[in-house]
Structure 1
Amino acid sequence: MNWIIRSTKIVKFHTNLLEVLKPIWKDFIDYDWVLTDLDFMTDDEIPINFDKDYFVLNKEEFETLYQSSTQIIWGIISAVPKNTQIDFNLISNLSAEDEKAWKPNEFLIEKAFLEIVAYDSGYTIVKFKDKKLSNQFKEYFQEEAIDLATFIEISSTLK
């Protein structure tokens, strides 16, 4: 239930949340969103900036980001159940470059139901705790969503 998108015809750019979340968006109305280690480009008015290390957005705030034309270059974006207790010291020190980001079924934010890791504008890692949502995601992206474990195995044999 872990996928990586490396190149795609569906998504205009990595990591375009409107496209990445399109097949599963309706399933996330009851979640807050934790965003950390961000680098991004946008011309839109959005509820994140470079003044803080992390953001916790409610559904409405996140929807503004979701609907925008924002490219997430680096970052960790996690859907957590509303009112989840969060260790902000831990969150502020997380990095998209952490090796745990590349390990299947390991979430940087443990309480995340969904975790998206944007890695250097070229990779989007998407991890699910719900098989049904994972299957919806894979069905939408088809061969463009590569199993993360398979991708890592193939990449290691090329070195």
Structure 2
Amino acid sequence: MNWIIRSTKKVKFHTNLQEVLKSIWDNLAVYRWILTDLDFISDQLLPINFDEDFFVLDSPGFEKLYHSNTQIIWGIISAIPYNIEPDASLISKLSAEDSIVWEPDHFLIQESIIEIIAFDSGYTIVKFKDKHLSDKFKEYFHEQAIDLQKFNEKYINRK
């Protein structure tokens, strides 16, 4: 339930949330969203900026970001249940450049149901704890969503 999107015709650019989350969007209103270690490009007023280390968005705030034409270049985007209070001291130290983001089933934010790692506008890692959401995502992207473990075996863990 760990995927990487590298070369795809389904998205105009990495990481366009509207395209990456399209297949599962209707299932996401029940979550709050943590966004940290961000670098992005947008021409719209958004509920995120470069003044803070991280953001916690409710569903309407994240929906505004989702419907924007924002390119997330770097960053960690995590869906968490509404009843979870995020640990600010932990979240502000997270980095999309940490090598552990490439580890299957390792979530930087333990409470995450979905975790998206935007990596240098070229890779989007999407990890799921919910099999139903993972299956819908894979069905939408087909072979363009590569199993993260297989990707690592082929490109990262080569000897």
Distance 1:20 1:101 in 2: 18
Q: Flag structure 2 segments of 5+ consecutive residues without an equivalent.
A: none
Q: TM-score normalized by structure 1?
A: 0.98
Q: How far did residue 56 of structure 1 move? A: 0.1
Aligned to 2:122: 122
Aligned to 2:141: 141
Distance 1:5 1:43 in 2: 25
Distance 2:156 2:30 in 1: 38
**Alignment RMSD (CA, Å):** 1.0
> Aligned residue pairs: how many?
159
Alignment-mate amino acid for residue 99 of structure 1: S
Q: Flag structure 1 segments of 5+ consecutive residues without an equivalent.
A: none
For residue 23 of structure 1, give the secondary structure of its aligned residue in structure 2.
helix
Runs of 4+ aligned structure 1 residues displaced above 3 Å come to 156-159
Distance 2:58 2:38 in 1: 17
TM-superposition CA deviations, 1:66-88 (whole Å, max 9, x none): 00000000000000001312110
Identity across matched positions, percent: 64
Distance 1:83 1:93 in 2: 22
Aligned to 2:9: 9
Which structure 2 residues correspond to residues 1-159 of structure 1 after superposition, within 5 A? Answer: 1-156=1-156
Alignment-mate amino acid for residue 58 of structure 1: D
Q: How far did residue 158 of structure 1 move? A: 5.6
